[in-house]
Structure 1
Amino acid sequence: MSVLIVGASAAGLSTLEALRRQGYQDPITVLGAETHLPYDRPPLSKQYLSGIWEADRTSLRPEAMLTALGADFVLGDAAVALDVERRTVHTASGRQLSADSIVLATGLRPRVLPNQPDLAGVHVLRTLDDAAALRVDLAGASRMVVVGDGVLGAEIAATARKLGLPVTMAGPQAAPLASQFGPVVAGLLAELHTAEGVELKLGTAVAGLTGVDGRVTGVELADGEVLPGDVVVVALGATPATEWLADSGLTLDNGVVCDSQCRAADGIYAAGDVARWRHDGLDALLRLENRTNATEQAACVAANILGESRSYTPIPYFWTDQFATKIQVHGIPSADAEVTVAEGAIGDRRFVTHYRRDGRTVAVLGWNMPKQTRLHREHLVHGQAVSGGSPPTALHSARHLAALEERPR
């Protein structure tokens, strides 16, 4: 039996490692569109972009450890088509790679501003190469504009400001991450960024870019105001990288649609940002974009490849570091939830909040209280077993999760 993993990502590498840990010794091939061995994405907007880390520190594993896994890494060759019946992947270079089981772990593609000129100084940030190009531009920049008020946009703005660069953040929300965190916590984020010198131009849509002689000069808002900047980062979320699967016959709808065991078709699985699977406890489809999910879902996929029948039912988790603030979130918060302080104090900027909907705690958010936040995670327990032997999972409403899936993250 052989396995082909499409995507040399965190989810792809985690699948490989989980298979080997569980004693699988047959051939495994890892196909990656990038030329890099698997690396970690969260540091790209922080440690690497700031120059604290160099590229080698973003590597998920030393090359010797990857070699010891005994897999064939085929890098720099993107998948372009999948024959589900024959379980064969066709690549850009003309390769045809077949296996008994195929894992789709192709991740996301960043959104861009539509119908805009190709201007120097305009960036997205998804890959190591993206981060490297942005890092070079920041070194000679006079002012940066971040288009996007979500997690990535806020992290990039914080990193650039810590480097001493004047930064403006633009976006349609009233405050950074308002649609996820609600007005109280998002308002604190706005205060944090303002206190650190980030200029916020929020609540107005972005109309487009301005440029002179092929170089970006600013961002135009829907009300006509132009925000000057010789470097612009577009951080408007991302979409699942499924274009290459359009003729595969798989169900594609905001990701690769899978059953509760992360199976998209017989012998075909999906893991990580690209996977949209049925959560057994919710009877709803869910897709998560975070590093923790990539690792946990990969372990479930590996177990099912090896013959288990394991449903994947995680408690969602993510974190973000902005300036000296660490925010950790268990569950899925929403702007319309009731928010209460369960420990600490907002005035001290050290607290844990509970998000409640329909009489039930659906999320726990910690601000500079990592240990306590982890303990409060137990309030999400609802008595259902979680895959991988973890504690019981939270049960959020299917209606709430369905609405979240349509919102850019």
Structure 2
Amino acid sequence: MVDADQTFVIVGGGLAGAKAAETLRAEGFTGRVILICDERDHPYERPPLSKGYLLGKEERDSVFVHEPAWYTQAEIELHLGQVVVSIDRYAKSVRLGDGTLIEYDKLLLATGAEPRRLDVPGTDLAGVHHLRRLAHAERLRGVLTSLGRDNGHLVIAGAGWIGLEVAAAAREYGAEVTVVEPLPTPLHSVLGPELGQLFADLHREHGVRFHFGRKLTEILGQDGVVLAARTDDGEEHPAHAVLAAIGAAPRTALAEAAGLTIADRAHGAGIAVDASLRTSDPDIHAAGDVASTLHPLLGFPIRVEHWANALNGGPAAARAMLGQEVTYDRVPYFFSDQYDMGMEYSGWAPPGTYDEVVIRGDVGKRQFIAFWLAEGRVLAGMNVNVWDVTEPIQKLIRSRAQVGPEALSDPSVPLESLAG
């Protein structure tokens, strides 16, 4: 039986929001839990959208966080297809697009991120796509099927995780693929040039063409249909469809309008939260893609857009809303599957933060672990087709132990022994 004395409102129907609602009930909260989603679909997970579901290997129902009946059973008041248009921090209420006013005792913002848009002529053509939502994946899956059947061409702007995963999917469907990327290697801003080249080689072996150091300047079409994509060197690339995969921006407009503190661009430009995921308003928390979290392990704020952050951040925020002592200090983690290569990455080591990359294993066989080091300390580790090593890698990162490159690169030295 729900006790109406307290109302917790969650804005955002992704994984973070759904797991926060689940955790509130699991922790014994008996007040009202209101989950507001701007999509008409029930909360779902996003990794399958560029992986199994896009490839047609997973069913649509497999992407949902809970079965629809669960929300009724857990007495979660679910508002689908509703947009929150404003927050009144003084009245402690949110206003929906239909004018409904909902008061809250605690509020969680899990509004996620949205794809960055290409700012070039031709983006209004029907064949220009983004991939963020389930509806996008459904549409894109149909497009890839058609391109594969008709030997059609897909041009992808951006060689980040989404761009590469869609490139792999498109090649599996049989489509021709060209990737345009302004940086010198794929994933350059995440992995640096040392490991970015590995992904370039992998995709080239599967027939993907790369155009590095260039940007799209125009998408050409006729009668609403994409015909080609032009880059800033004047080259025209055949295209029947274009995917914009140039990153995602945190959806902070609601928080900004409410006067909440927003992190600067260097720290992700998300809603600024402390280690308990509390915003500048003590009754409002934020989690998932939208939150720039002051990370206790790193000592500075970061914004992480990956599945594990939503999976773990939503529950952490829920516990903090209940007044529990929470320190959200999980090591950032993400994974990717492309063709026959699977990888997991733990840590935080963008270019400029590390001074050495050490390899354990065989890069040529694509079966190895890479470590990013600064002053002998492991900042991040990526295991490629090597499994069950995430825990010791993360323990090594947490320990901040100084480790010699000889021991790190030697497969006969157990990883567990290096954390001190």
**TM norm structure 2:** 0.88
- Per the alignment, residue 392 of structure 1 pairs with none
User: What is the CA distance between 1:347 and its match in structure 2?
Assistant: 2.0
Alignment of 1:29-68 (within 5 A): 29-68=34-73
Alignment of 1:7-406 (within 5 A): 7-117=12-122, 118-141=124-147, 142-253=152-263, 254-264=269-279, 265-336=281-352, 337=354, 338-342=356-360, 344-382=361-399
For residues 310-362 of structure 1, what are the alpha-carbon distances to aligned partners after superposition, in whole Å with 9 as ceiling and x for unaligned?
Answer: 221121111111111111101013334311113x2112210011110132110
CA contact (8 A) 1:339 1:356 kept: yes
User: What is the CA distance between 1:203 and its match in structure 2?
Assistant: 1.8
State how far apart, in whole Å, the 2-side matches of 1:140 and 1:383 are: 50
State how far apart, in whole Å, the 2-side matches of 1:125 and 1:357 are: 35
For residues 169-199 of structure 1, what are the alpha-carbon distances to aligned partners after superposition, in whole Å with 9 as ceiling and x for unaligned?
Answer: 1111222112211223211111100001111
State how far apart, in whole Å, the 2-side matches of 1:311 and 1:218 are: 50
1:355 is aligned with what amino acid? W
Structure 2: segments with no counterpart, 5+ residues? 1-5, 264-268, 402-420
1:381 is aligned with what amino acid? R
Moved more, 138-147 or 69-78: 138-147
State how far apart, in whole Å, the 2-side matches of 1:261 and 1:372 are: 28
State how far apart, in whole Å, the 2-side matches of 1:136 and 1:347 are: 35
State how far apart, in whole Å, the 2-side matches of 1:298 and 1:236 are: 26
User: What is the CA distance between 1:282 and its match in structure 2?
Assistant: 3.6
Aligned length: 383
State how far apart, in whole Å, the 2-side matches of 1:301 and 1:244 are: 18
Secondary structure at the counterpart of residue 318 of structure 1: strand
Structure 1: segments with no counterpart, 5+ residues? 385-409
Secondary structure at the counterpart of residue 365 of structure 1: strand
State how far apart, in whole Å, the 2-side matches of 1:332 and 1:38 are: 28
- Aligned-pair Cα RMSD in Å: 1.6
Q: Which runs of 4+ in 1 moved over 4 A?
A: none
State how far apart, in whole Å, the 1-side matches of 2:77 and 2:71 are: 10
1:103 is aligned with what amino acid? L
State how far apart, in whole Å, the 2-side matches of 1:295 and 1:203 are: 35
CA contact (8 A) 2:86 2:254 kept: yes
User: What is the CA distance between 1:373 and its match in structure 2?
Assistant: 4.2
1:139 is aligned with what amino acid? T
CA contact (8 A) 1:80 1:245 kept: no
For residues 356-377 of structure 1, what are the alpha-carbon distances to aligned partners after superposition, in whole Å with 9 as ceiling and x for unaligned?
Answer: 0132110011111121344333
CA contact (8 A) 1:47 1:53 kept: yes
CA contact (8 A) 2:120 2:217 kept: no
Moved more, 24-33 or 371-380: 371-380
Alpha-carbon distance change, 326 to 81 in structure 1, aligned in 2, over 3 angstroms: same
For residues 66-100 of structure 1, what are the alpha-carbon distances to aligned partners after superposition, in whole Å with 9 as ceiling and x for unaligned?
Answer: 33221000010111111112221112222212210
- Per the alignment, residue 412 of structure 2 pairs with none
State how far apart, in whole Å, the 2-side matches of 1:280 and 1:181 are: 23
State how far apart, in whole Å, the 2-side matches of 1:281 and 1:178 are: 24
For residues 129-155 of structure 1, what are the alpha-carbon distances to aligned partners after superposition, in whole Å with 9 as ceiling and x for unaligned?
Answer: 111121222232311111111011000
2:274 is aligned with what amino acid? D
User: What is the CA distance between 1:115 and its match in structure 2?
Assistant: 4.4
Secondary structure at the counterpart of residue 65 of structure 1: helix
User: What is the CA distance between 1:383 and its match in structure 2?
Assistant: 7.3
User: What is the CA distance between 1:106 and its match in structure 2?
Assistant: 0.5
User: In terms of Rg, which structure is larger?
Assistant: 2
1:325 is aligned with what amino acid? M
State how far apart, in whole Å, the 1-side matches of 2:9 and 2:98 are: 17
User: What is the CA distance between 1:202 and its match in structure 2?
Assistant: 1.6
Query: What is the aligned-residue identity percentage?
Result: 34
CA contact (8 A) 1:352 1:373 kept: no
Alpha-carbon distance change, 103 to 57 in structure 1, aligned in 2, over 3 angstroms: same
Alpha-carbon distance change, 33 to 150 in structure 1, aligned in 2, over 3 angstroms: same
State how far apart, in whole Å, the 1-side matches of 2:141 and 2:103 are: 38
State how far apart, in whole Å, the 1-side matches of 2:249 and 2:326 are: 27
1:259 is aligned with what amino acid? D
Alpha-carbon distance change, 282 to 61 in structure 1, aligned in 2, over 3 angstroms: same
Secondary structure at the counterpart of residue 81 of structure 1: strand
State how far apart, in whole Å, the 1-side matches of 2:252 and 2:178 are: 33
State how far apart, in whole Å, the 1-side matches of 2:169 and 2:75 are: 38
CA contact (8 A) 2:92 2:104 kept: yes
CA contact (8 A) 1:339 1:353 kept: yes
1:156 is aligned with what amino acid? V
1:203 is aligned with what amino acid? G
1:122 is aligned with what amino acid? V
User: What is the CA distance between 1:297 and its match in structure 2?
Assistant: 1.4
CA contact (8 A) 1:113 1:208 kept: no
Secondary structure at the counterpart of residue 229 of structure 2: strand
State how far apart, in whole Å, the 1-side matches of 2:211 and 2:242 are: 14
